[in-house]
Structure 1
C-alpha cells in the first residue's frame, strides 16, 4: 500500500462562500496520508477564520501561511514551497475533491512508472442560474474530447500530442485545471515553478513543460468537482483572449517550437511577423 505523503495545496483569496465545502471534501478522502497547506493571499472576508477553525478540528496536519499578494502564480508557488509531501494535489477554494480522488490518482503512479502527472475528468458544479454556464459546459465540460484515445479508460499523452492539430484548438487547456491534477513534487525541481508572469494560462504552460519531459495520464473518470459561478466569468473567458493570447503564442514559438507541427509553427511565425510589422497595434509584453 502506498504511504507517500500528499500535500493538498489550497491557495485562498476571499473564498468564504465555498471554502468550507472545499475543506469538507478533504475529510472524506479514502487516502489517509495527507497534509493541508493553505496560503492566504490577504483575504478581506472570513476565509482566514474558516481555515483556522478547520485547522483546530482536523485530525491531520493543516498549515496556514499568509502570503503578500503578488498574483495567482505566486500564491500557487508559495503553497508548493511550504509543502512537505512527495506529491502535490491542488484544491481551489471553490472546488471539491470527490471521495476516492487522491487514492485513485496515486494508483496510477504505482501502475505506470513513466507517469509524473495524473489528471482526471471533472464533475461540473453549477446551479444553472447564470446564462453562460450551459454554453460553457457544452464547450469546456470535456477537455479531452476529440483527442486520440479519448474514449479509453486511461488517456496517455506525451510530447507528440503537441503536434496534434486539435490540441491547440479551443479549449486550449486539454489537461484540466490544477484541482484536476496530482503530480510529483520533484517535477518542480526539474522543470521549475508555475510562471508568475501569466494569469490565465500558467497551468497550461506548466503542462507543456511536463509533456516535454514525461507522460501525462488522464483518468477517464470524474474525481473532482469544478464549480462555475458568476465571479469566474471574466477569468474563464475575456481575460485569456484579450490579455494573454498573444503572449501565449509568443511562448509557444520561443520555447516549444521544436515540438510543434510544421503547420502550427508556420502559423505562429506568420503571427509574429505581423506583430513586428505593426508593433503598436499588436504589442507583446
Structure 2
C-alpha cells in the first residue's frame, strides 16, 4: 500500500520543560517505519531548550513537525490541545520522557483500521538509569497490567470494548490495565464521539478515557513491546494504591455516569452504594448497624 493510501497518523507530543529526554523521544518518532506521519507538539510554555531541540529535528526528516504553544492549564488540557491540532485520522501519543520502537505504528495500524476499532494497545518496556527498589516494585506491580483482567483473556487481535468493561476486576488495582498514553493508538473519531480527556482528573485521566472509549468501540491488542515508558524514583514512589486516591472518587463518578450499564454486577453494586441516593442511604444504615 502506498503512502497516499495509508491513513495519516498524528504523533502527538505534549511537552513541558522536557529537554532531558525529548531528543530521544523525537528520534523514536522520526524513526517510525510507517510512511504517512505528522508530528504535533503542544508545548506548555517550556522555559528550557525543549522547543529548540524539537526544531533541530526538522532538518533530519521529511515528516512534518508542527509546534503549537499552549497556555498551561493542567496536563489533560495539553493532551487535548495536541489532539485538536492533529490532522491525522489516527492519534499516536508519545510523551516527552518516553520512546517508541521503530515498528510501533506499523504493527498497530493493521488492527486500528479494522471496523469499529477505537483503541489499540500493546505491551511496553521501561527505561530507567538504575533499578532502585522503588522502580523494581513499580515494574512488578504495573509491568504486566494487561494480564490483570479476570474474565477477559487478552490475546493478540480484537475484542469488544464492552467485554473489557464487563470484567469483574475493572475497578480493582491496578486501575489502568491498558497502559500509559505512549502505549496507545486511537482512532480520532473517538474524540468526536466520546469526547476528550477529563481535564479535572490529575492522574487517572488516561484510564478513565480508555474505559469511556470501550463503551463504544472495539479494542486491539498487539502482543509485543512497542513503547518504552521512563521511570524514576519520584514517579515510582507512588507505586502503592495511594497513587490512585486523589482521583478515585471523581473517577468512580465518571464510571457511574458514563459506563455503568456495561459493568459487571459486582461493580454495579459498588457504584450504586457510593452514588445512588437510595442505595447509598441503605449502605450507610447497614454500616451504622454493624458498627454497634
Question: Structure 2-normalised TM-score?
Answer: 0.87
1:159-170 to structure 2, matched below 5 A, reads 159-170=162-173
The superposition leaves residues 222-247 of structure 1 with CA deviations (integer Å, 9 ceiling, x where unpaired) of: 11111112342467667743311111
1:27 aligns with 2:30: yes
Unaligned segments of structure 2, at least 5 residues:
285-292
> Is 2:9 the counterpart of 1:6?
yes
Alignment of 1:74-93 (within 5 A): 74-93=77-96
Counterpart of 2:139? 137
Counterpart for residue 124 of structure 1? 126
Where 1:36 maps in the other structure, the secondary structure is: strand
Distance in 1 separating the partners of 2:167 and 2:241:
26
In the other structure, the counterpart of 1:241 is: 244
Distance 1:239 1:20 in 2: 32
Structure 2: distance between partners of 1:128 and 1:154: 34
Contact kept in structure 2, 1:8 and 1:37, CA below 8 Å: yes
Asked if structure 2 preserves the Cα contact closer than 8 Å seen for 1:25 and 1:96, the reply is: yes
* Equivalent runs, 1:209-220 vs 2, <5 Å: 209-220=212-223
Distance 1:65 1:30 in 2: 25
Equivalent residues of 2:134, 2:237 under 8 A apart: no
Number of residue pairs the alignment of both structures matches: 274
**Contact conserved, 2:119 with 2:186, CA < 8 A, in 1?**
yes
Partners of 1:76 and 1:234 lie apart in 2 by 24
1:200, 1:235 within 8 Å by CA — same for their partners in 2?
no
Residue 204 (structure 1) aligned with residue 207 (structure 2): yes
Paired residues of 2:141 and 2:239 also in contact (CA < 8 A): no
- Structure 1 Cα separation of the partners of residues 272 and 237 of structure 2: 29
Question: How far apart are residue 190 of structure 1 and its match?
Answer: 1.1
Q: Give the corresponding residue for 1:154.
A: 157
Alpha-carbon distance change, 13 to 234 in structure 1, aligned in 2, over 3 angstroms: farther
Q: Distance in 2 between matches of 1:113 and 1:249?
A: 30
Helix, strand or coil for the counterpart of 1:269? helix
CA contact under 8 A between 1:11 and 1:39: conserved in structure 2?
yes
Structure 1 residues 55 and 230 mapped into 2: Cα distance closer, same or farther (>3 Å)? farther
Which one of 251, 262, 273 corresponds to residue 265 of structure 2? 262
Q: Shift in Å at residue 251 of structure 1?
A: 1.7
CA distance in 1 between partners of 2:54 and 2:264 (Å)? 46
The alpha carbon displacement at 1:133 in A equals 0.5
Segments of 5+ residues of structure 1 without an aligned counterpart are 278-285
- For the structure 1 residues 217 and 33, does the alpha-carbon distance in structure 2 shift closer, same or farther, using more than 3 Å as the test? same
One of 175, 186, 190 as aligned partner of 2:189: 186
Bigger Cα Rg: 2
Alignment check: 8 A CA contact 1:88 1:185 kept = yes
The alignment's TM-score, normalised by the length of structure 1, stands at: 0.89
> Is the contact between residue 88 and residue 183 of structure 1 (CA under 8 Å) also seen in structure 2?
yes
For 1:75, what is the secondary structure of its paired residue? helix
Task: State which drifts further: 139-148 or 68-77.
Answer: 139-148
